[in-house]
Amino acid sequence: MDPLSENKIILVVQRTRLDDLIARFNTVNNARFYVEHQGADFSDYQMEDATYKRAVGQIKGILARHGRLQTLDRAFLPNFIFGPSDLVVALGRDGLVANILKYLDKQLLIGVNPDTDRWEGVLLPFAVSDLDLIVPEVFASGRPVRDITMARAELNNGEIMFGVNDLFIGPQTHTSARYSISVGDRKENHSSSGIIVSTGLGSTGWFRSILAGAAGITSSLENISPDAFSERAFEWDSNYLYFSVREPWPSKTSGAAIVFGKLTSGSPLILVSHMPENGVIFSDGIESDFLQFNSGTRAVISLADKKGHLVV
């Protein structure tokens, strides 16, 4: 069937847990033996996989009616070049939407929930069956779009990484990160478990977890209710970020005064690594895609000069 338009649609898909197990153990039977040997329910993996593969088949049929369709595996995102007018559709979990957004520049993204009984879908407002209505509306500029503020890490060697939910700067393993930190006219040396920089989109995730831990400690020491910290999420398009230092260690050579704060367009976070090896910067929980942050590397953490655009 010929598409109804010449618009290009990029469908981004991801592997299921069963796909990952088969890649690891070579066959379904081997994967079943491993999972059941661990006392888990293998049928849950199979049901999830079947539901997702069925959704992939359905969504391909729908999208092919509305444009020239290309399917892209999530693993190839870092090297894929999107056209300026491509419409991008994500079929998967919420994390897939965040992962895609940092590789886009002005393209619109539609998040589709393949399994509404399984996934909460905060970033996946649509079901597969909605797309016959939604896609034409998007092409006709008739759908609302939410802007998503991103974080940006730029190194002194020219490398750049974007974060949609958050950036992590610290050790690759469970060791101490050593670096100098400066915000405005404040500067000190640190030894810590690393730094989390959070966006508005990520403020209900890792950022909330950090505040919950801090609130629990504070309430135990100072008799302050944890509820005072529990609702600190901020808007997806907020023109600021927050940074949080994890487990700072005060010593003769390291301080613990600069541990939390707001970053704006005029007040970036500047970090210089003192780690001879294993220093990294990664975003949105994708540890395999990282920048090296070793001795002498200078990182400027700031608001990104681009935003994500999520169809709602």
Total Cβ atoms within 10 A of residue 137: 12
Q: Is the pLDDT of residue 7 over 80?
A: yes
- Its pTM stands at 0.88
What local confidence, expressed as pLDDT, does residue 284 receive?
Answer: 93
Q: Each residue of 108-140: pLDDT tens digit?
A: 999 999 999 999 889 999 999 999 999 999 999
Q: Which CATH class is domain 8-143?
A: alpha beta
Q: CATH 3.40.50 occupies which residues in the chain?
A: 8-143
For domain 149-304, is the CATH number 2.60.40.10? no
Q: 28-37 and 42-64 are packed helices; what angle lies between their axes, rounded to 10 degrees?
A: 140
**Dist CA 218 CA 266 (whole Å):** 31
Residues in the chain, total: 312
Q: Which one-letter amino acid corresponds to residue 49? A: D
Quickly state the pLDDT bin for 217 (edges 50, 70, 90).
confident
Q: Each residue of 176-197: pLDDT tens digit?
A: 999 999 999 999 999 999 999 9
Q: Which one-letter amino acid corresponds to residue 73? A: D
Bridge partners (DSSP) listed for residue 190: 179
Q: CATH 2.60.200.30 occupies which residues in the chain?
A: 149-304
Q: Is the pLDDT of residue 238 over 60?
A: yes
